Structure 1
């Protein structure tokens, strides 16, 4: 299962959250991830089962746009530029943690 396959939950308190409040919280999260480029996507995947690319893909899906456009919103720049500046190759341990974490996603 990829992070793009996570189903949208319905019927919980999150659904009653005001859209402006949710949007403000989301923007704060994205800005934090832009600032904390030291938190590698592979480590986010290994810990939480999602990463910046997942958020970008969710934006693309919700906004009816291509994945690159959604990811560029989250990265604050084109994905290729973000990778050139911040991406490091994953270690076997990081990949194993990611696989284990992704298995926990619904």
Structure 2
């Protein structure tokens, strides 16, 4: 079980690194295609921390996932969603 946990941790590290290397992949596109995004990973980090009795706030979790403060990442790497992206995302919610 310990090795399985270590493997999962390494896989998550690789996923975070992959997202960091592909900032052109927008959160809304991830939501449309996979129904999760970097923000979901941040929220899951907070939830899992709480389950383990570790106090991690959303800003700290986002720094873990985005590798910088979220407002900075958003300003540098996240353009406004296009009308087409918003429409596709809206269709998922119906």
Instruction: Let me know the Cα RMSD of the aligned residues.
Output: 1.9
How many residue pairs match? The answer is 88
1:97 paired residue number: 88
Structure 2 gap ranges (5+): 51-55
Change (3 A) 1:101 1:28: farther
Q: What TM-score results when the alignment is normalised by the length of structure 1? A: 0.75
Relative to the length of structure 2, the TM-score reads 0.84
Task: Please name the residue that 1:75 is paired with.
Answer: 66
Consecutive unaligned residues of structure 1, counting only runs of 5 or more, are 1-14
Going by fraction, where is helix more abundant, 1 or 2?
2
Flag the structure with more relative contact order, 1 or 2, with Cα contacts below 8 A and sequence separation at least 6.
1
Off by >4 Å, runs of 4+ in structure 1: none
